Structure 1
Amino acid sequence: MADHELEWKPGIPRWVQVYDDLKGKIESGELAPGDQVPSVLRLQQLYGIATATGQKVHRALRKDGFIRTEPGMGSFVTELGVRSTPPSSS
């Protein structure tokens, strides 16, 4: 069972919903620059998603400049200035 329950919206891919949830936490400051974001394994536990789904979320957050990944260390929230304004994720 997942530790974090999202109300899954039909017709929207789960990776988009998790991406939007994490992006919202970053934009609100709940996850601040320099904070470590949950690993793919932790996303599986938190949201009850598959490994591939968690990997897709991480890739999208990296691509859009919200996180950076340091090999062997984890993924961290970036400073505001390095973020792009992504197109609508739906």
Structure 2
Amino acid sequence: MEFEPDIPRWRQVRDVIAQRIAAGVYPPGSRVPSVIQLQAEFGIATSTGQKVIKALRADGLAYTEPGLGSFVSKVPPAAQQ
């Protein structure tokens, strides 16, 4: 993936994951890629991956179960409308 220089990388990666959720690549209840998986796929730092997961939670797209990982929300916000 080529990153846009004027947009924070965490936001660009968050947008990719959000698009995948909307497209059903990651259906409700499935795992969101871990920070380590995000690092491997996008070549980002650990702190950047953590920001991606935090942003997905803040947007209501994902939730985290301590010790288990992060998962796609059962009813993503777009589907609630």
Name the residue aligned to 1:80.
Answer: 75
Instruction: Tell me the residue number matched to 1:40.
Output: 35
Deviating beyond 2 angstroms after TM superposition, the runs of 4 or more aligned structure 1 residues are none
Identity %: 53
For the pair 1:50 / 2:76, whether they are aligned, the reply is no
Compute the displacement of 1:53 (Å): 0.3
The number of aligned residues is: 78
> Which residue identity is paired with 2:22?
E
1:42, 1:30 → 2: CA distance?
15
Q: After TM superposition, give the deviation of residue 80 of structure 1 in Å.
A: 2.3
Normalised by the length of structure 2, the TM-score is: 0.89
Gaps of 5+ in 2: none
Give the unaligned 5+ runs of structure 1. Answer: 1-5, 85-90
Q: Aligned equivalents of 1:36 and 1:80: distance in 2?
A: 14
- Looking at secondary structure, tell me which structure has more helix per residue: 2
CA distance in 1 between counterparts of 2:46 and 2:14 reads 14
Distance 2:53 2:22 in 1: 16
Scaled by the length of structure 1, the TM-score of the pair is 0.81
Q: In structure 2, what is the Cα distance between the partners aligned to 1:52 and 1:12?
A: 16
Deviation at 1:22, TM superposition (A): 0.1
CA RMSD between the two structures: 1.3
Report the Cα offset of residue 58 of structure 1: 0.5
